[in-house]
Chain A
Amino acid sequence: MSLLEVKDLSIHFGGVKAVQNVSFTIDAGIVYSVIGPNGAGKTTLFNLITGVYKPTSGEIRLDGESIGGKSPDELARRGVARTFQNLQICMNMSAIENVMVGAHLRLDRNLIKAALRLPGLTRRDAELRGEAAELMRFVGLDKYINARADSMPYGALKRLEIARALAMKPRLIFLDEPAAGLNPKETIEVDELIRKVADSGITVVLVEHDMKMVMNLSDRILVLDYGKKLAEGSGEEVRKNPDVIAAYLGAHA
């Protein structure tokens, strides 16, 4: 059975139909990319599946369970992680604390125990600090382990978001333009990082404009245009699809 199943999903903002009757399924363990011109509804689709928006109609199933309209924290409990196109880093915290927040649901969050600094809680926190440092190394942020988030460059913050998402130990991770604004060298590094994440058994859903990266990484690709599904298939199939070529190049098929 597929891990994620989206059926006839739509959302309307007033008269704007940002996503219209989109259906697709994602099998566990693959890299699935969503591409399309600007304004095609890619990020909106992510926001729908990760609970930031509630769908107007349609169905989303994770492992067969309907998750449409569930809040982001309920989805987090079910192993859904994501990063953001426009960075959402907590600048009021250190880099490693940003990663540690990712492990929120795996920790004892009791207020009284925290205020009394009970040994069990601090021990677990110290362990977590080690785990978070390990994750920062995994995403290539070795030299920022003791840094403040607000002192880090843009490219590093992009990876910090990935590290935070990984700290959730997710089954499914949504990456919203992880290479946007990065230079070619950084893009190749992120490309390799996503490969490592996928190899670790996490299902990756990717929105990205860098076509080389998308073609290189994806097992399957969904093409959106004006909120509608234009095509779906392997890289090769999508590349040859006349509708996709028309949407991207503006040619008349």
Chain B
Amino acid sequence: MQKRAYYGLYIVIAILAVLPMVLPNSFYLDLAIRMAINAVIVLGLNLLIGFAGQISLGHAGFLGIGAYASAVLPTHFGWHPLLAMVAGAVATGLLAALVARPIFKLKGNYLAMATLGLGIILNIALRNEATWTGGPDGMPVPAFGLFGFELSNDKQWYWVVAILLTVSVWASLNLIDSPFGRALRALHGSEVASRVVGVDVVRYKVAIFVLSAVFASLMGSVTAHYVGFVTPNLADFFHSIELVTMVVIGGMASVYGSLVGAVLLTALPQALATFEGWETVVFGAILMICMIFLPKGLVPTLAAKFDKGDQA
């Protein structure tokens, strides 16, 4: 049963390997890179939402910390970009761990409100600290280089994010099918039963919250260097919602669902551009239809159609 889940990984690798050869121009390459970046964030978020059954409506805030660490630290303090990226991730991890204990005493709607508030506070901080962050206008981000080699063109960026995505899929699959992952899914299935078999549920919720926040922060840094510019919009409420929507549309508790959700929702606004002023309306309608007919998300619903046996 578990072996089969890894077959998907080979398909992902195959697609990622072939994609640059079939993409007609740099517009699509750019789109593919943004899809892959979102996919990594959504993978982390799905571990929290889909597998552990918790919610975060403030994940873009963590993404913002990573992005601005990569913008501010090298620009104002001359830090090496890699060091800035790690510092952003560590800061995010510490912040997430600090707020997680009180937050995870809450459940359901209250948990959603608390994470929502956290995201909004982070966003406000980025907007208002204009001396450092450029305020609402944002700021440029220096290029990312390592050992004298600088990531300059999209082809190079593509391979970097493709590798990051592959490793993330592999690590997520590993994690789910491990004692840690089982405990995580068990506390989603029945919190009292998992406590009784010895799972320290708060510790597990905190751990996965921190992990997914660090994922978001690292990918925030990658986004910042790739785009070369950061604005507070990266960290705003709508971006948080967009990420959660990717998890839900693709499929909760589905690794490949995360990828599908990220790919679709990154592409959809582009595909709908022809509707001009109406694209958000059409976008919303598509999401509603998906939720009505595929309430478990795309991948789990389709998987169930083809297979009545084990879940991947």
**Contacts from A to B (Cβ < 8 Å):** 50-52, 71-73, 75-77, 81-82, 84, 88-94, 97-98, 100-102, 104-105, 107-111, 113-117, 121, 125, 146, 148, 161, 164-165, 167-168
Contact = CB atoms under 8 A, between A and B. Distances in A.
Contacts of A109: 179-180, 183
A90 B186 contact: yes
Contacts of B180: 109-111, 114
B188 A90 contact: yes
Nearest to B194: A101
26 contacts: A72-B195, A72-B198, A73-B198, A73-B199, A77-B198, A82-B196, A89-B193, A90-B190, A92-B185, A93-B182, A93-B186, A94-B311, A98-B186, A101-B194, A104-B183, A104-B186, A104-B198, A109-B179, A111-B175, A114-B180, A115-B174, A116-B174, A125-B179, A148-B310, A164-B193, A165-B197
Given A114-B181, A121-B178, A146-B310, 19 more contacts: A52-B192, A52-B195, A72-B196, A77-B198, A88-B190, A88-B193, A88-B196, A89-B190, A91-B189, A93-B185, A94-B311, A100-B182, A101-B194, A104-B179, A104-B182, A114-B180, A116-B174, A146-B309, A164-B197
Contacts of A88: 190, 192-193, 196
Interface in B141-187: 171, 174-175, 177-183, 185-186
Contacts, number: 118
Contacts of B253: 92
A91 B186 CA distance: 9
Contacts of B310: 94, 146, 148
A168 B197 contact: yes
Contact of A114 (B175, B190, B200): B175
B207 interface: yes
Contact of B186 (A52, A101, A111): A101
A107 B201 CA distance: 16
A115 B179 CA distance: 11
Contacts of B194: 90, 101, 104
B33 to A, nearest CB: 24
B62 to A, nearest CB: 18
B23 to A, nearest CB: 31
B112 to A, nearest CB: 20
B69 to A, nearest CB: 23
Contact of A115 (B171, B186, B195, B199): B171
A116 B173 CA distance: 10
A71 B197 CA distance: 11
A76 B197 contact: yes
B1 interface: yes
B186 A81 contact: no
A88 B196 CA distance: 10
Contacts of B309: 146, 148
B39 interface: no
Contacts of A94: 1, 310-311
B234 interface: no
A60 to B, nearest CB: 16
A198 to B, nearest CB: 20
B16 interface: no
A125 B1 CA distance: 14
A93 B211 CA distance: 22
A131 to B, nearest CB: 13
Interface in B25-72: none
Given A92-B189, A101-B183, A111-B180, A71 B195 contact: yes
A114 B183 contact: no
Contacts of B193: 84, 88-90, 101, 161, 164
- The 4 A-B pairs at the shortest CB distance, nearest first, are namely A90-B189, A76-B198, A114-B178, A88-B193
A175 B128 CA distance: 58
Contacts of B182: 93, 97, 100-101, 104
B197 A104 contact: yes
A54 B301 CA distance: 42
B190 A105 contact: no
A81 B196 CA distance: 7
Nearest to B187: A90
A71 B202 CA distance: 12
Contacts of A90: 185-186, 188-190, 193-194
Nearest to B196: A72
B1 A76 contact: no
Contact of A108 (B174, B179, B311): B179
Interface in B192-223: 192-201, 207, 211
A213 to B, nearest CB: 23
A83 B172 CA distance: 31
B197 A125 contact: no
Given A90-B185, A97-B182, A73 B200 contact: yes
A72 B196 CA distance: 5
A148 B311 contact: yes
